[in-house]
Structure 1
Amino acid sequence: MGGSRRGTPNDPTRQSKILDATLHVVATDGVNGTTHRKIAARAGVALGSLSYYFDGIDDILCHAFAWFAENMSRVYRQTLSEARTADDAEAAVVELICGPDYASRRDMTLIFEMYAYANHNPNVARHTRTWVERSRESLQLHFSPQTCRALDALIEGWPMHRAFERTPLDRDLVATTVHAVVTAVGRADPDGNDRPRAPITPITTFT
């Protein structure tokens, strides 16, 4: 991690508070409206604390988005790892699309901001690509690689439409569509080999 840290921080949770505060400010005011002063006020820390951990606003935003993506990936992975049957796996995908625990309205706001910022920041773009890869690895616990790509597009795209339309999704329609994709593309790899359970790899580590 970048930053001008010297010595040992007095509050080991301060860094997480700053990142959480950054995400709150981004969700409220957007990336363009995010400032050091707003972040420090939200986190309840001295303004100088930010330069203690991070090298400027771009560095703060990069680590905040990486932290956000990692937390989203954790929910994604847990939801899929709890599935025990083929039907459970499809139901897990439906839950990721329609349920309250993944891609909430606030999450979607942050995703929009992250994607836009990633177009101009290579580090954020790298974290975003890693997030996509982690999502597909989690889906590969149950589905073939090609099916994973199609399902991940549904999991990403449908909540985006919901965010703009501001209407609940039709869970029955979502379930029917997920089943149709799985049936059409298939569950197994084309060569019929068993798929190993996909490993989960960290996006970043905060100290």
Structure 2
Amino acid sequence: MDGTDALKGQDNAGREERRARRHDPRRRTRILDAALDVLVADGVAGLTHRKVASGADVPLGSVTYHFASLAELRTQAFVWYVDQRTAQFEALFTEVETDEDLIDVLVELVQGGPSRRHSAVLGFELHLAALRDPALRTLTHEWTRASRAVLARFTGADTAARLDALLEGMIMHALLSPEPEPREATRAAIEQTLPPNPRSAT
């Protein structure tokens, strides 16, 4: 193949990728989802364009097309995670009608097991990264404020702040402990943090 043929091949490849982008509206979202998977598996230090491209099943150039730098990819992946997690958290409480309902939801939040591990690991990776990145620190503050606002509807603002801190600590303990804590112990800790009538708190 001479130089002209090589250039034609590159042009054709470029056209094919541009056509793929036009017919793949979810590509950016798939890249973000793949980035979150890499963050869970390898942490912030292990995030690379190649791993994300492989996980999203897209060409490497697609990742750099959508995200100018690895830092931007990391930040936007965490923003995407927080947006999803905030909506999911609020949805957990849509059917809470009694104090027992509230406690059941909170216990399950801590005791969710493998199904919640992915989300929990991402949350702690975000907080760790935020220690050194002011932009991510702003994101964690917004996330905390939104979560506490949901809890405050049932417990009042002061209790919501204490409960939020308790839940984070208990979730971290659940991730790190070789043996799961009994549900009864989790329930007892939550009940002790709540006021006597949490849903009537102001």
Scaled by the length of structure 1, what TM-score is found?
A: 0.80
5+ residue gaps, structure 2, are 1-17
Cα distance change, pair 86–106 in 1 and its aligned pair in 2 (3 A): same
Larger Rg: 2
The structure where helix makes up a greater share of residues is 2
The residue number in structure 1 matching 2:129 is 117
Task: Tell me the SS of whatever aligns to 1:140.
Answer: helix
Q: How many equivalent residue pairs?
A: 183
1:84 is the counterpart of 2:80: no
Match of 1:40 in 2: 53
Deviating runs (4+, > 6 A) in structure 1? Answer: none
Deviation track 1:108-158 (CA, whole Å, cap 9, x = no partner) reads: 322222111111222221111111111111112211101101111122110
Partners of 1:77 and 1:25 in 2: CA distance: 26
Structure 2 matches for 1:119-198, cutoff 5 A? 119-183=131-195, 187-189=200-202
C-alpha separation in 1, matches of 2:153 and 2:147: 10
Contact 2:174 2:181 in 1 (8 A): yes
Show the counterpart of 1:193: none
CA shift at 1:9, angstroms?
A: 4.1
Amino acid at match of 1:130: E
- Measure the CA separation in 2 of the matches of 1:108 and 1:137: 20
Cα separation, 2, equivalents of 1:179 and 1:101: 24
Asked whether the 8 Å contact 1:22–1:39 carries over to 2, the reply is yes
Q: Match for 2:175: what amino acid? A: A
Contact 1:35–1:57 (CA under 8 A) maintained in structure 2: yes
Looking at structure 2, the residues matched to 110 and 87 of structure 1 have their Cα atoms a distance apart, in angstroms, of 29
Shift of 1:161: 0.7
Q: Whose RCO is larger (CA < 8 A, sep 6+)?
A: 1
1:82 Cα offset (Å): 1.6
Runs of 5+ consecutive residues of structure 1 not aligned to the other structure: 1-5, 190-207
Residue 39 of structure 1, CA deviation: 0.8
CA RMSD of aligned residues (A): 2.3
- 1:47-102 CA-partner distances (Å, limit 9, x unpaired): 11122211200110001111112222222111122201122112222221222487
Tell me, yes or no, if the aligned pair for 1:25 and 1:34 is still in contact at 8 Å.
yes
Residue 201 of structure 2 aligns to a residue whose secondary structure is coil
For 2:62, the aligned partner's letter is: S
Q: Using the alignment, how far apart are the partners of 2:71 and 2:188 within structure 1? A: 42
Q: Which residue of 2 aligns with 1:28?
A: 41
